[in-house]
Amino acid sequence: MTAAVGPDRAGRALDLLALTPRERDVWDAAYLSGYLAGHEKGWEAADQHAAALHRRAVRVVRAMASIPERDHEADRAAAARREEWWANRRGDVA
pLDDT in tens, 14-55: 888 888 999 999 999 999 999 999 999 999 999 999 999 999
Question: Do 5 and 14 contact (CB within 8 A), yes or no?
Answer: yes
Is residue 1 scored above 70 in pLDDT? no
What Rg, from alpha-carbon coordinates, does the chain have? 34
Question: Do 17 and 1 contact (CB within 8 A), yes or no?
Answer: yes
